[in-house]
Amino acid sequence: MASNRELSTLGRILAEVQDDALQNRARPPVSATIAAVYRARARRERTRRNLSRLCYGVGAAAIAAAVMLFVLRPRALEFRVGEAAGLGQLGVLIAAPNTGVRNLSFSDGSRFLLRAGAQARVVSSNEHGARVVIERGVVRADVVPRPKNDWSLFGGPFEIHVTGTSFESSWDPQRQQLFVNMQEGHVLVSAECLAGTRALSTGQSATFSCGPDSTPASPQQPAPAATPPPEPMPAPVPASPPASPRVDPPPSLSAPLSVAPPPRAPSWRELSALGDYAGAIAAAEHEGFERLCETLSTAELLELASTARLAGHAERASFGYAAVRRRFAGSESAASAAFHLGQLAFDVAHDYRTARRFFAAYLAECRNCALAPEALGRRMEAEQGQGDVELARASARLYLERYPNGAHARLAQSLKQP
Amino acid sequence: MFGHYNAAGAPQPSMVGTSKLVRVVGGKRQASEQARARDPAELVRGLIAAEPWAERALLQAETAHVERMLTRMLGFCAELDDLTQEVFIRAFARITELREPESLRAWLSSIAVFVAREAIRRKRRRRWLVFLPAETRPEQPAGAASFEARAALRVFYEVLDGFGADERIAFTLRFVEGLELTEVAHACQVSVATIKRRLKRASDEFYLRGRARAELVEWFEEGSRWRRIES
């Protein structure tokens, strides 16, 4: 397992790389950042305000809708009796004087007139109509025609169902007879004692009784209630034939083809930057690896050689590093190439003599010598590997003098002691 | 003050004298603001009052720190400027929550941790949406680091992309930024014990995954290997 110390060392080195890159980064000026912060803050404030307004708007709309629903909710019809200021009450007996009439005025405009001596009650009402019971006497009804009208007058066992009509009806409780005289519209009269429903239309009149001495209907017999004819069955729709699969016609050979140019293949550098080292070397081979080694700049050639090393192409890596040393002899890049050649000799070829030679070359040629601790440590390892104990011991002493806490310090301590 | 007269004979103020006065006043004001910015308590008071000089001073002093913290946790990303702005937007909005003015930088670090955590989780959620184009890490800004060092840095964060957000943040703050355990715990607003557990998980995971990467394997075998090579 990697120790914390090793992780810290790696992390510190990576942090240096990051800090170096951040220093070179084009950062927006403070004024631009402040402006962006203010814009973002204003944008969030606007969003917050808009959201609040939206919530308030939705809330207000909901309240308004509730109020409208309340105001426009279906209300039961109300009525007034005569000239009374207040509204009539359900179930209360309404009586016309013996020498006069009594009006019932409903809120939809319908009117009922109780003739002299007549008595009636409004037993219930809803938005579509009311139930009026004729206790006795003659009641004239003028019901305003409206969709979904649902009025009923009751006289004894008889019910007169009204949808939009002007008629007179009377109930004689002693003779148990209902009389209906139509002026306009039509009504349906029903009772248990009647076989079915009786319909009366404009100009018709009839007397109804459930007793044994019931009066026969007026000369104009009421027409039987018509039943609506059955709706015709819809004709079966023939099934549509299955759609044939669409076949695109072959392209015309005479029409010129427009071919898009093939996308440009990524370069070896682009592939290397993405970590595709094998692909990068393949691309470099396609371009001509050896030609690249003769034409690339110092940094690019080092990068090509290191890419080959990371791709596991030790031979190509060695070729590239050797090209650096040959073309740019005496440069810091040439020294770095020596270090990497030493790595390849040690790690891949296990050629400790060649590895020692290259690590020593680095130490001799480097200027800033950033890899000096590693080069000295690995030189010491190579000397130990080739069996040259005295050389290794000398390198160990030198290493501990310069780098007492270096990565190879433990090895150096073990080699220093005879 | 009056240096010349107009055509009607009315005296006109000397613009040179006025501009000198403005420059002197401006210079004194700037010096005064700088002095106030150096006093943490005064700076925080100015931030609470949303005074422009305080907000400007905070950005000038702490933008580099916030950028560095975000870069440690996320690596180089295209949204660095946006995320940095987000940190300051939250800081300005929540400045009244700061109890100790001397802890301003540490407090900013904790905001940066939360912003980074959200960014990491957002990126992980996007990975589930396979029809969205894959995010590619932006090219690292040019620097003097060697090819191996830049490759190691890139691979380091590729390995971290497989970590949970909490483990990743603890790992980078501890080993890349170099914070002590108590500082990491304070920035993440959890206990030291929790940070230790997260670090243990992250370290074990990093060792397992890093060994499979050619750019890091040499480091695992021998320790510190990459150095910044100055050109």
Instruction: Express each pLDDT in B14-46 by its tens digit.
Output: 444 444 444 455 566 667 777 777 888 999 999
pLDDT at residue B230 above 70?
no
Contact list in B for residue A9 (CB cut-off 8 A) is: 223-224
For chain A, the structural domain boundaries read 28-73, 79-209, 268-416
CA distance A285 to A65: 76
pLDDT at residue number A236 = 41
Residues 389-418 of A with CB under 8 A from B: 407
Q: Report CA-CA distances (Å) from A275 to A72, A91, A269, A270, B150.
A: 73, 94, 10, 9, 11
Is B59 in contact with A27 (Cβ distance < 8 A)? no
Contact B77, B137 (CB under 8 A): yes
Closest by Cβ to A18, choosing from B71, B158, B215: B71
Q: Which two tokens stand for residue A171?
A: 């109930």
Which one of B175, B201, B215 makes the best mutation probe of the A interface by having the most chain A beta carbons within 10 Å? B175
Contact B183, B106 (CB under 8 A): yes
CA distance B212 to A400: 32
Is B163 touching A (CB cutoff 8 A)?
no
* Residue A224: DSSP 8-state: B
CA distance A46 to A44: 5
pLDDT at residue B221 above 70?
no
For residue B91, give the 3-state DSSP assignment: helix
Q: Which two tokens stand for residue B115?
A: 């912003």
Contact A17, B228 (CB under 8 A): yes
CA distance A148 to A74: 13
Q: What's the pLDDT tens digit per position in A200-233?
A: 888 888 888 876 544 444 444 444 444 444 444 4
In CATH, the architecture of A79-209 is Sandwich (2.60)
pLDDT at residue number A195 = 66
CA distance B103 to B62: 13
Homologous superfamily assigned to A268-416: Tetratricopeptide repeat domain (1.25.40.10)
Lowest mean per-residue pLDDT among A64-73, A243-252, A292-301, B116-125: A243-252
pLDDT at residue number A229 = 43
Complex ipTM, two decimals? 0.80
Lowest mean per-residue pLDDT among A252-261, A388-397, B72-81, B159-168: A252-261
Is B154 touching A (CB cutoff 8 A)?
yes
Phi/psi at B150 (5° precision): -65, -40
pLDDT at residue A109 above 80?
yes
Contact list in A for residue B200 (CB cut-off 8 A) is: none
